[in-house]
Amino acid sequence: MDSRVTADTLEKGMVQTRRPHTARGFGLLALSFTTLGVIHSSVATSPLYVLNSIWSPNGPAPPPEDVIGVLSAIIWSMTLLPLVKYAFICLHFGTGEGEGGSFALFQGLFPPPREDIDGDRVLTGDSAYKTRSVSGSGHISNRFRWPLLAWCLFATGLTMADGILTPAVSVTSAAAGIAVSKPSTAGSVTGISLALLTPFFLIQPLGTERLGIALSPVLFIWLLLLGVTGIVNITAHPAIFRAFDPSRAVMFFVRTKRFTDLAGVLLALTGCEAMFASLGQFNMLSIQLSFSAFVFPNLILAYLGQGARMIRDGEAVINNIFYATIPGSSNGPLFWIVYIFGILATLTASQAMVTSTFSLVQQLVNMKSLPPIRIKHTSEKIQGQVFIPIVNWILMIAVIVFVVAFKNSENLTNAYGFAVATVMFSTTTLLAVQMVYVKRLPVFVAVGFFVIFGFLDGLFWTASLEKIPHGAWATLMLALVMMVFMLFWTWAKRLEDRFDGTNRRNLRHFIIATEKGEVALPAGAPPPLASEADELTVGDSVQQYYYYARDRTAYDSAAEKDEDKRELVRIPTCAIFHKFASGKGVPHSFVGFIRQWPALPQVVIFLSVCVLPAPRVPPHERYDVNKVRSVKGFYGVTYYIGFREDFEVNIEEIIAKICSLENPGDQNSSETINEIRRAVLQTTHIVPHYHVLSKVDVREGGPMRVPLNWIRKFLIESIYRRLIISFPETAKWNGPADEIIRVGITAKI
């Protein structure tokens, strides 16, 4: 996969996006094999707990017709949703770069505005920052942006909740199997689960590359074990194949009125969303091939085998349907082989969800929907493998709390199903809208899709609602809290970016350049601009002096205060001013800097960052540099970074680009280059530190104006102000903290 961004494309201000990964022959088979451990591990461990979530271990064994009815519901649910909806429909709706998931669907409807990449490096341009209203794709109204964003973030919160619930549910279910062989250990399941989960999180800093080497082989053997044991168990009651008749499922719910059992059937579908969300890591064909040709048939065989044994043995297996239906003795070699691989498979499923959570948090940070936090890359080859320390420790604490609080897998699955159903329904909603406004399909196609799959998702979602009092309330509360926080941060951060853009200034309007000895000007004539002085400078015999003026028209006014036209001394250092919003001009932090310290560094770099829709950017294409002719030593730089890369400014690479602009063959330029190289020995990063204040709506009328202003003031000044102190933009930087200067700025947003 070639994910590079070419320099020619960047010079035109258009970012080349990467293309979906393509593979054929043996490469496709290898890629399909890799998907087993990364994508399908969650759905592959569902047989551990699905049937016992429908029939309680402490209850009576169900009659044969009920077993066949539930198995029919499981088989057809897996066929219509993971296989048809996700593997053969959703995967066609990825982005042009091959990305999938809820954010891919949302960004398809509301694509981000095209940034003026070249304009970011123009420091002498006059371009007032305008709040760009991001119009939707096609004819979709922009007023739907925030409701759809809220819906998307709610689904994202539930997906991150899965990162907590998957380790808790799967590992606890696998550990419970020991009680089948050793009944005396039944009370130790929670302790065993914690003993497995705690080291699991402690070794996460080793990185996905090392931890994931054995993922796919483990899942491959696990699925083979499921298929083989399923075939052996089916011989106990071959009539179990009647479950392929969909009417059996309908008759079961009509006869028993137990519609809440759909919440248990839903657990057989856990992890199907990962097929779409992980599209960017693989490709459509590899996911379709691995699921339809290997994962799906083995899971169906496993469920059929469990059902056959339930019909034959009844009460003997109801206590733990999965482990009690393993062929052979409960203390035999096959039992312990399955038990060991069950533990490994659940840890694999947990690793996949934790890794997905890391990637999702990184995407949210890049989209400015979460505060900037430190993200570490754990692989030199695969830059998508990240470790986020604070997220890892939060997940560990949350998993431990869930395991201890809910005590067993039956209670945990109540919380699990609600998250799965809501995310599935969210995908169906966004996909139906995309069909009309992005894919330009006929409206009846989108309506038909939504009616069919929305109905199925709605059934599962309605059934899971009844689980809210029994544990799903925890998932719902967690997702709502995360959604509200992400919406609040997105809103406040956009206000801050708007302030940052509005207060950019044209460099020539307040930096005045004069030559040595130039004290007399024609009457009424304004002082020369820096660009004009540059043209008069010849060789080393002419030296420039620089002054700061609040307004160049007032520069020649005798009434102007001295501090309004103070001289700026050049000092032999390098300063990098970071621009946090796109557009022409210099950032407000530069104006604040020279007001507080009346000096100009020998090398001044205005750095803007462009996060590309590609995982990585080649080093030789990472920086674009413009030389500012108005003032000597000023440069505009764009730092291109892949969305999976660390933020780490390499000053040596920037200086190499700068020196190439200074015409090294010329004698004067050679001296300039030497000055630059001496200056960069002391490099300082300068960022704004905003003291945010809330703007007051002074419009007349409306009884809600006063309380709304008070709420706005409270959110911005009491909450957001404290958060930006706790989560500064520099939190995700890899440079030393003592190289950063924060310029205080009062910002009314």
Q: Is 528 helix (H, G, I), strand (E, B) or coil?
A: coil
Chain mean pLDDT for the chain: 79
**Whole-number Å distance between alpha carbons of 677 and 529:** 27
What's the confidence (pLDDT) of residue 223? 96
Is a pLDDT exceeding 90 seen at residue 270?
Answer: no
Q: How far is CA 277 from CA 99, 110, 112, 692, in A?
A: 8, 18, 19, 37
Of 746 and 26, which is predicted with more confidence? 746
pTM of the model: 0.79
Tokens of 742: 């924060």
Residue type, 493: K
Of 187 and 276, which is predicted with more confidence? 276
**Whole-number Å distance between alpha carbons of 45 and 27:** 26
When pLDDT is averaged across residues 541-569 and rounded to a whole number, the result is 60
Is a pLDDT exceeding 50 seen at residue 404?
Answer: yes
What's the confidence (pLDDT) of residue 628? 82
Q: What is the 3-state secondary structure (H, E, C) of 215-245?
A: HHHHHHHHHHHHHHHHHHHHCCCHHHHHHHC
Asked if 628 contacts 662 with a C-beta cutoff of 8 angstroms, the reply is no
Is a pLDDT exceeding 90 seen at residue 456?
Answer: yes
Of 679 and 536, which is predicted with more confidence? 679
What number of CA atoms fall less than 13 Å from residue 466's CA on the CB side? 11
What's the confidence (pLDDT) of residue 451? 96
Tokens of 706: 């006063």
pLDDT above 90: percentage of residues in the chain: 25
Q: How far is CA 475 from CA 197, 409, 472, in A?
A: 20, 15, 5
Task: Give residue-wise pLDDT tens across range 28-73.
Answer: 888 788 788 778 888 898 998 899 889 988 888 899 999 999 999 9
Task: Give residue-wise pLDDT tens across range 566-604.
Answer: 788 888 999 999 887 777 888 888 888 888 888 889 999
When pLDDT is averaged across residues 305-317 and rounded to a whole number, the result is 93
Confidence of residue 644 (pLDDT cuts 50, 70, 90): low
What's the confidence (pLDDT) of residue 432? 93
Task: Give residue-wise pLDDT tens across range 719-748.
Answer: 999 998 888 877 666 566 667 888 888 888
Nearest to 120 by CA among 429, 477, 540, 579: 579
When pLDDT is averaged across residues 176-198 and rounded to a whole number, the result is 73
When pLDDT is averaged across residues 427-448 and rounded to a whole number, the result is 92
**Whole-number Å distance between alpha carbons of 337 and 290:** 24
Is a pLDDT exceeding 60 seen at residue 528?
Answer: no
When pLDDT is averaged across residues 156-182 and rounded to a whole number, the result is 76
Please give the domain boundaries of the chain with CATH numbers for all domains: 30-112+142-497 (1.20.1740.10), 504-748 (no CATH)
- Tally Cβ neighbours within 10 Å of residue 410: 20
What's the confidence (pLDDT) of residue 417? 75
Which residues have C-beta within 8 Å of that of residue 22, sequence separation ≥ 6?
A: 1, 283
